[in-house]
Amino acid sequence: MGALRLPSLSSFFTSSSISLRSSLLFRRQNRLGFPLRPLSTAFSSQNTAEKETEIEDRQASQKSRVQDRVITPRSQDFNAWYLDVIANAELADYGPVRGTMVIRPYGYAIWEAIQDYLNVIFKETGHSNMYFPQFIPYSFIEKEASHVEGFSPELALVTIGGGKELEEKLVVRPTSETIVNHMFTQWIHSYRDLPLMINQWANVTRWEMRTKPFVRTLEFLWQEGHTAHASPEEAEKEALQMIDVYTKFAYEQAAIPVIAGRKSKVETFAGACKTYTIEAMMGDRKALQAGTSHNLGQNFSRAFETQFTDENGQRHHVWQTSWAISTRFVGGIIMTHGDDAGLMLPPKLAPVQVVIVPIWKKTDEKTGVLNAALSVKQVFVAAGIRVKLDDSDQRTPGWKFNFWEMKGVPLRIEIGPRDVSSGSVVVSRRDVPGKQGKVFGISMEPSVLVAYIKEKLDEIQSSLLGRATSYRDSNIVDVSSYTELKEAISQGKWARGPWSASDEEELKVKEETGATIRCFPFEQPQGTKTCLMTGNPAEEVAIFAKSY
């Protein structure tokens, strides 16, 4: 996978002493009035391998860069832009241990919005939340052959507890299929106990070497659903139901036009029979696997002897599924919608949907403006609109405009003395820059204003989805030969073409182009198909892309 990924990001993690030096520097710059720290460069300088003098050099050069711009333009350096946005919008910070991430309140609030939505759907579809221990006996991991092969290189192991060497090493869960099955075996006796459908919200640990905030961290947060069924048909139906839940969530809440489909055998989850996936195209046109749902068949139930007695007294191994979405999805939102100015959040998941910026020059204007702003805020709160009133004295309105644009807030309301007199406000859209996105004279009358704002939020939600869909569609190329595939991939695009070749040929594509099969999409073109690689008949098209 090495060739497919960005240059090692693990080197961005640092000892605290060096990061302290950097942050002291930026603190000084802050006092010069620059609103934001250029943290992508700060993190770039956090290379423990660098000599201190190099860091000093960089810091000097950063000083001048800061004066030019706050966030590296997306078009100039997508990765630096991504790290800048995360740092400046205060979504996350680096933890002290290599590859770990602190999720800051603004980033965590996006995750909470994801949780709030999915949690309701999971319950509506019959799943109960519960909690499994995170420590798994090492022997459990070894029970399912392909599972141990997939996960053993990534494990964090507890070997000492309470001051003593442990007899058996404990795995810090990378995923919970093994411990879930250990328990299911004790709970499932007869067909009456099925289906058993549970979910847990938890942290998981995978010892990744190349890390990137949200996208791939040593520890991350997720939900993992686990179900057991009396028939293979029910398990398949459940696995498909849950990838549909994720798809609907991606489209309707995150405004991300994912492509749902089935993974190739090579890319299937370690221990699954089939893996369904939603694949999202990021702003740099790399694919992000944003959620997966696995039909586990009887792989784990055989390994853990999870059996039930059917109506006729016969014993069978249960059929199972598991499915997950993680904090990686937050990275997907950033990389789908963000632009040069920073973050752009879909209204349905935005922690702040509307920011109110009061504007006054003379002291005698202040009270009237602030009172009007406060009453507009209260109207929004009552209407269930997530609103922030930025009434601080310490920043200019212009600074605030930039700041909240960078934070991706969908709508801004400006209220100045003239607006107060006319009983109206100015409304600006984050997704339409400049004058074009600005409308004057919207009445402050509560019912009018609330209706207007709700309509605009819906418009922005649709507009983000529409824009991302056009972008996606203009960057997927239909290919009918390996030459065309290579051409598309080398242009940074996704290639879609008929595929019935071998695993070896799939790996060859990966080696030669850096692209993998992201999925065989559920939506397939009509007509006969010929494998782009072998010229043999093919039943399906596959999508190839470079990915995170």
CB 229 within 8 A of CB 318: yes
Question: For residues 253 and 240, what is the distance between their CA atoms, to the nearest angstrom?
Answer: 19
Nearer of residues 114 and 198 to its own copies, judged by Cβ: 198
Buried b (16+ CB within 10 A) or exposed e, 464-475: bbebbeeebeee
Nearer of residues 41 and 513 to its own copies, judged by Cβ: 41
Beta-bridge partner residues of 278 = 260, 291
Is 35 among the residues that bind its own copies (CB under 8 A)? no
Is 448 among the residues that bind its own copies (CB under 8 A)? no
Which residue has tokens 């607006």?
Answer: 419
Nearer of residues 134 and 475 to its own copies, judged by Cβ: 134
- Residues in 66-105 that interact with its own copies by CB under 8 A: 93, 95-97, 100-105
Interface residue with its own copies, options 154, 233, 473, 503 (CB under 8 A): 154
Nearer of residues 131 and 474 to its own copies, judged by Cβ: 131
**Count of CB atoms within 10 A of residue 107's CB?**
24
The distance of closest approach from Cβ of residue 310 to its own copies in the complex, given in angstroms and rounded to an integer, is 15
Interface residue with its own copies, options 108, 222, 246, 494 (CB under 8 A): 108
Nearer of residues 109 and 341 to its own copies, judged by Cβ: 109
Surface-to-core class of residue 16, CB atoms within 10 Å of its CB (0-12 exposed, 13-18 middle, 19+ buried)? exposed
Interface residue with its own copies, options 132, 249, 308, 329 (CB under 8 A): 132
Is 17 among the residues that bind its own copies (CB under 8 A)? no
Which of 333, 243, 254, 320 is CA-nearest to residue 288?
Answer: 333
How many positions of this chain bind its own copies (CB under 8 A)?
66
Is 526 among the residues that bind its own copies (CB under 8 A)? no
Question: For residues 413 and 171, what is the distance between their CA atoms, to the nearest angstrom?
Answer: 51
CB 437 within 8 A of CB 428: yes
Element (H, E) at 362: none
Q: What is the DSSP string of 178-242?
A: HHHHHHHHHH--BGGG-SEEEEEEEEEE---SS-BTTTB-SEEEEEEEEEEESSHHHHHHHHHHH
Binding window for its own copies (CB under 8 A); candidates: 106-114, 258-266, 427-435, 440-448 = 106-114
Contacts of 524 (CB under 8 A, 6+ apart): 540, 541
The distance of closest approach from Cβ of residue 254 to its own copies in the complex, given in angstroms and rounded to an integer, is 20
Please name the amino acid found at residue 496: R
Is 157 among the residues that bind its own copies (CB under 8 A)? yes
CB 170 within 8 A of CB 138: yes
Interface residue with its own copies, options 19, 223, 275, 292 (CB under 8 A): 19
The distance of closest approach from Cβ of residue 454 to its own copies in the complex, given in angstroms and rounded to an integer, is 23
The tokens describing 465, both together, are 């989805």
Nearer of residues 64 and 392 to its own copies, judged by Cβ: 392
Which of 156, 135, 122 is CA-nearest to residue 241?
Answer: 122
Which of 454, 332, 349 is CA-nearest to residue 408?
Answer: 349
Nearer of residues 35 and 95 to its own copies, judged by Cβ: 95
Interface residue with its own copies, options 6, 21, 29, 30 (CB under 8 A): 30
Q: What is the DSSP string of 60-84?
A: HHHHHHHHH-SS--TTT-HHHHHHH
- Residues in 180-199 that interact with its own copies by CB under 8 A: 182-183, 185-187, 189, 192, 198
Is 318 among the residues that bind its own copies (CB under 8 A)? no
Nearer of residues 128 and 146 to its own copies, judged by Cβ: 128
Is 36 among the residues that bind its own copies (CB under 8 A)? no
Binding window for its own copies (CB under 8 A); candidates: 23-31, 442-450, 474-482, 523-531 = 23-31
Is 125 among the residues that bind its own copies (CB under 8 A)? no
The distance of closest approach from Cβ of residue 172 to its own copies in the complex, given in angstroms and rounded to an integer, is 7
Surface-to-core class of residue 2, CB atoms within 10 Å of its CB (0-12 exposed, 13-18 middle, 19+ buried)? exposed
Is 33 among the residues that bind its own copies (CB under 8 A)? no
Footprint of its own copies (CB under 8 A): 16, 19-20, 23, 27, 30, 93, 95-97, 100-105, 107-109, 111-112, 128-137, 140, 152-163, 169-170, 172, 179, 182-183, 185-187, 189, 192, 198, 202-203, 205, 207-209, 218-219, 221, 394
